[in-house]
Amino acid sequence: MNIAVSRIEGFAQPGGTLSSAVHKLNLQQISNLNGVKRRLTKNSILLHEEDEIKHVYEVVSGTVKALKFLADGRRQIIGFFGAGDIIGLPLETSAFYSIQAVKNTVVLCYPISQLDAAMGHSSALTKFIFGLVHSELERHLDHMISLGRKRPKERMAAFLLTYYKKQLVTGVTDMVIELPMSRVDIADYLGLTQETVCRVLGHFKRNNLIAAKNSHEIKILDLPHLEYIAQSGVLH
Amino acid sequence: MNIAVSRIEGFAQPGGTLSSAVHKLNLQQISNLNGVKRRLTKNSILLHEEDEIKHVYEVVSGTVKALKFLADGRRQIIGFFGAGDIIGLPLETSAFYSIQAVKNTVVLCYPISQLDAAMGHSSALTKFIFGLVHSELERHLDHMISLGRKRPKERMAAFLLTYYKKQLVTGVTDMVIELPMSRVDIADYLGLTQETVCRVLGHFKRNNLIAAKNSHEIKILDLPHLEYIAQSGVLH
DNA sequence: CGCATGATTGAAGTACGTCAACTCTTGTGG
DNA sequence: CCACAAGAGTTGACGTACTTCAATCATGCG
């Protein structure tokens, strides 16, 4: 098994709605296992697509990206995982994608064998894992409809909102979101080119939907409008 | 929990490679539960996106599609599920997508509550379910890279090959594959328009990669070339 | 047989990609 | 601390692959 899951807020949280309360659950607490700390420098690779999966990872700080390659070098980024997110699932098999550090990152490594055993004893842990799968699956479906049917502006708006909501859940009410990844990474996540990403962001800026302190810090000025674009994408 | 999984060949089958042996496992056998048979007429809806999930479904005959909608009617088809495929997972939550019959279809319905209980007793069933999740997850990732980074010809070639491989697994060595869904459905699965789907198929025909008995039966003439296109997409 | 639906083909438009120049940022070493 | 280089980000001009619009052709069901 090999999946990556974002931090979950409560079990089996339906829809993309925001959780009212933050469950400060992490793998360490719920599994009673001690993850081994590992430091990753920017761009270093935690896992290759062909590798055998031996660990589940929990991001402590920093950000990593999960990505797949085509033969000619084209990339599709499956997801970004920041502090609190968990990557991988306790069932042995080869990897589906590579994992690479977006910037200097610290992760905790849990051997799959240990987690597997722990799941046998703890139904709470099993439920927790299923909850993670649930979140990740929902994320995949949203990503698919983005890639298949949304226009660049809608994809970008949805992307920004995802980050906004993610940090809302952690209690940060600031309208400034941090995008640690490069424009190329965003492009490879959204199925666009870096130029298109820039132009869409430029468009949002000119229309006062967002403002940019620098290229990695975006302030959301018009949340409702962005949500409108993200969902139906009528405006241009 | 709410996921859809294609028929699995052995547990945790890695990669998209073909299984050597067919495991004739189905939910009925492994869970010792009796699914309730339900008949669906073409285009009838088994499940709405907002519905609460109460059952896991196993397709007996026919084909259904899982799809998501945008506000303005745009559709993204997540997957097609034919005989032997299982849809849904035993964890209660609302649905992520709608399920609709592509043609007249028979499904077996298993109440989630029963499956949930059965999983508590049977680790084999739990493993089976995890195997299904595994397959489905891999399918999602391939779908994402298709939607995000592949060109129409590559997407279509990959789509045809998926069907070819699927029936190979069931023991059918014929080069003729059946595509029960419409061109529009294929388009909504591949993130294209129906016209583009037609044109790509036309291109394949003119280049003797495939031949068409009728619009729903495609004969594969040049498997290696199709595989080449599907993977690196250099030819045009 | 006839209408409705689906499939195909053609012509025209455009949104996004490609190519290229330029700017801004970041890091490094003198 | 500044100079410079290397990388990342942005913007513009241009091309084109795919979509859109429209017409025609098949298919199938009453």
C-alpha dist (Å) from residue A229 to A131, A174, A195, B85, B213: 29, 21, 20, 36, 44
C-alpha dist (Å) from residue B58 to A170, A182, B137: 39, 43, 18
- Tokens linked to B190: 């591949």
pLDDT confidence of residue B98:
94
The dihedrals phi and psi of B157, each to the nearest 5 degrees, come to -60, -45
Expressed in angstroms, the distance from the first to the final Cα of chain A is: 41
Identify the three-state secondary structure at position B29.
helix
pLDDT at A10 over 60: no
Using the 8-state DSSP alphabet, how is residue B35 labeled?
A: P
For the segment A96-103, the average pLDDT, to the nearest whole number, is: 94
- Tokens linked to A126: 């099993």
User: How many cross-chain Cβ pairs, A to B, lie less than 8 Å apart?
Assistant: 121
pTM, two decimals, is 0.90
pLDDT at A32 over 90: no
Q: Which residues sit close to strand D, CB under 7 Å? A: A 182-184, 194-195, 197-199, 201-202, 212, 215-216; B 151-152, 191-193, 195-196, 199, 214-215
pLDDT confidence of residue B172:
86
Which position has the token pair 């800026």?
A205
For the segment A115-134, the average pLDDT, to the nearest whole number, is: 86
Contact between A144 and B145 using a beta-carbon 8 Å cutoff: no
List the one residue out of A81, A84, A83, A79 whose CA is nearest residue A23. Answer: A84
Neighbours of B15 (CB within 10 A): 10
The dihedrals phi and psi of A136, each to the nearest 5 degrees, come to -65, -40
Given CB atoms, is B190 within the 8 Å cutoff of chain A?
A: yes
Which position has the token pair 């550090």?
A101
Sort strands B63-69 and B98-101 into parallel, antiparallel or unpaired: antiparallel
Residue B200 CB-density burial (10 A; 0-12 exposed, 13-18 middle, 19+ buried): buried
Tens of pLDDT, residues B59-72:
999 999 999 999 99
Contact between A70 and B231 using a beta-carbon 8 Å cutoff: yes
Q: Order of strands, edge to edge, in the sheet holding B217-220?
A: B176-178, B217-220, B210-214
Our measurement of CA B190 to C1' D16, in angstroms, reads 21
CB A190 within 8 A of CB A199: no
Given CB atoms, is B52 within the 8 Å cutoff of chain A?
A: no
Half-sphere exposure at residue A231, Cβ-oriented, CA atoms within 13 angstroms: 8
pLDDT confidence of residue A122:
86
CB B125 within 8 A of CB B30: yes
Using the CB atom, is residue A103 less than 7 Å from strand C?
no
Tens of pLDDT, residues A125-170:
888 888 888 889 999 999 999 999 999 999 999 999 999 999 998 8
Enumerate the nucleotides of strand C whose atoms come under 7 Å of any protein CB: 6-11, 15-20, 25-26
pLDDT confidence of residue A153:
96
> Which helix or strand (DSSP H or E) is residue A67 part of?
strand A64-69
Given CB atoms, is A171 within the 8 Å cutoff of chain B?
A: no
Sign (positive or negative) of CA dihedral B8, B166, B15, B89: negative
CB B10 within 8 A of CB B103: no
* Pairwise CA distance, residues B135 & B56, whole Å: 16
Task: Please tell me which residue of chain A has the smallest CA distance to B50.
Answer: A15
Contact between A137 and B137 using a beta-carbon 8 Å cutoff: yes
To the nearest whole percent, how much of chain A has pLDDT over 90? 62
Given CB atoms, is B148 within the 8 Å cutoff of chain A?
A: yes
Q: Which of residues 145-184 of B touch strand C (CB under 7 A)?
A: 182-184
Q: How high does pLDDT run on average in chain A?
A: 86
Residue to mutate among A94, A122, A149, A232, with most B CBs inside 10 A, is: A149
Neighbours of B235 (CB within 10 A): 12
* Cβ-nearest to B78 among A141, A190, A232: A141
Residue A85 distance to chain B (closest CA, Å) = 18
List the one residue out of A130, A87, A124, A136 whose CA is nearest residue A108. Answer: A87
A73 vs B contacts (CB less than 8 Å): none
Residue A181 distance to chain B (closest CA, Å) = 18
Our measurement of CA B220 to C1' C1, in angstroms, reads 36
Our measurement of CA A172 to C1' D1, in angstroms, reads 38
* Pairwise CA distance, residues A215 & B218, whole Å: 49
B74 vs A contacts (CB less than 8 Å): 149
Residue A41 banded pLDDT, cuts 50, 70, 90: very high
Contact between A148 and B150 using a beta-carbon 8 Å cutoff: no
Neighbours of B136 (CB within 10 A): 24
Spans of chain B below 70 pLDDT: 1-25, 90-92, 233-236
B72 vs A contacts (CB less than 8 Å): 232-234
Tens of pLDDT, residues A170-207:
888 899 999 999 999 999 999 999 999 999 999 999 99
Tens of pLDDT, residues A81-90:
999 999 987 6
Contact between B96 and A137 using a beta-carbon 8 Å cutoff: yes
Residue A228 banded pLDDT, cuts 50, 70, 90: very high
Q: Which long-range contacts (CB under 8 A, 24 or more apart) does B31-35 make?
A: B31/B110, B31/B114, B31/B115, B31/B118, B31/B122, B31/B125, B32/B118, B33/B110, B33/B114, B33/B115, B33/B118, B35/B108, B35/B109, B35/B110
The angle subtended at Cα B185 by Cα B181 and Cα B190, nearest 5°, is 120
pLDDT confidence of residue A25:
59
Q: What are the DSSP calls for B93-143, one per residue?
A: -B-SSEEEESSSEEEEEEEHHHHHHHHHH-HHHHHHHHHHHHHHHHHHHHH
Neighbours of A205 (CB within 10 A): 14
No. of H helices and E strands in chain A? 7, 12
Residue A135 distance to chain B (closest CA, Å) = 9
Length of chain A in residues, anyone?
Answer: 236
* Pairwise CA distance, residues B52 & B96, whole Å: 10
